[in-house]
A and B are shown apart, each in its own frame.
Chain A
Amino acid sequence: MEERGAGGFRKDTVDRLLRLNFRDGRTRVNADAQLLVAELLKVFVREAAARAARQAQAEDLKKVDTEQLEKVLPQLLLDF
């Protein structure tokens, strides 16, 4: 499936991730919505990585560690 791109989340994985957390067993996700959630998760991960990378660069570091991630996490979670 081309729309997954090189390193995106698989539709099936997304479906299972969501169904694991639904309270009502009858809740389903349609195919388009699955692909869109996959896209949303991809954006989420890339944002987390990119913001942490920017933080590391602001600190003149070559390596991103959890410390940099911790600093960008609050705003990331506010944006999603």
Chain B
Amino acid sequence: MAAGGEEQREMLTQRLKAAVHYTVGCLCQEVEEDKDVQFSKQSIAAIAEITFRQCEIFAKDLEMFARHAKRTTVTTEDVKLLARRSNSLLKYITQKSEELASSNMEQKEKKKKKSSAAKGERSPGEEEAAVTENEDSNMA
């Protein structure tokens, strides 16, 4: 049982690394066009590996920040705290978080209108599931 779990974790790690590598490749391509340079395959792989390791730090910090606030769910507040070291980064992330919050408000209002019109055909949970299914098609 424990060995099986280990193996599964290893497989998940490999898949996630591949997904990160793919996305890093796309992002580097954008930078290539922007700055008129080329990235070697090794440098892209290195950025992917750095990003994967950085995720470990991010995850542990986020968990600790949430725990510190006596929560088990990580929120945008924790993410903002993660971006505290650089001023411009913090500003950017704060702005993004406000955008998210305001778009959520709009959606909620739309939902309210919908559900009052047609007494909620789908529960919010079902809607969430539909969204994740859609996104799955992009998994590298």
The answer to whether B74 and A33 touch across the interface, beta carbons within 8 angstroms, is yes
Min C-beta distance of B87 to chain A, whole Å: 10
The answer to whether A16 and B89 touch across the interface, beta carbons within 8 angstroms, is no
Give chain A's interface secondary structure class: helix
Min C-beta distance of B74 to chain A, whole Å: 4
Knowing A32-B76, A45-B23 are in contact, say whether A80-B54 is a contact too (CB < 8 A). Answer: yes
Q: Mark B34-76, 1 if CB is under 8 A from A, else 0.
A: 1101111011001100111011101110110011000011111
Q: Mark B103-140, 1 if CB is under 8 A from A, else 0.
A: 01000000000000000000000001001101110110
Interface size class of B (residues with CB under 8 A): 35 or more
The answer to whether B74 and A27 touch across the interface, beta carbons within 8 angstroms, is yes
The answer to whether A49 and B31 touch across the interface, beta carbons within 8 angstroms, is yes
CB within 8 A of A7: which of B27, B59, B83? B27
Q: Mark A17-39, 1 if CB is under 8 A from B, else 0.
A: 11111111011111111011101
The answer to whether A57 and B31 touch across the interface, beta carbons within 8 angstroms, is no
Complexed CA–CA distance, A42 and B12 (Å): 21
- B15 closest partner in A (C-beta): A16
Complexed CA–CA distance, A47 and B128 (Å): 32
Complexed CA–CA distance, A11 and B138 (Å): 11
The answer to whether B40 and A40 touch across the interface, beta carbons within 8 angstroms, is no
Report which B residues bind A (CB closer than 8 A): 9, 12-13, 16, 19-20, 23-24, 26-32, 34-35, 37-40, 42-43, 46-47, 50-52, 54-56, 58-60, 62-63, 66-67, 72-76, 78-80, 82-83, 85-86, 89, 92-93, 96-97, 100-101, 104, 128, 131-132, 134-136, 138-139
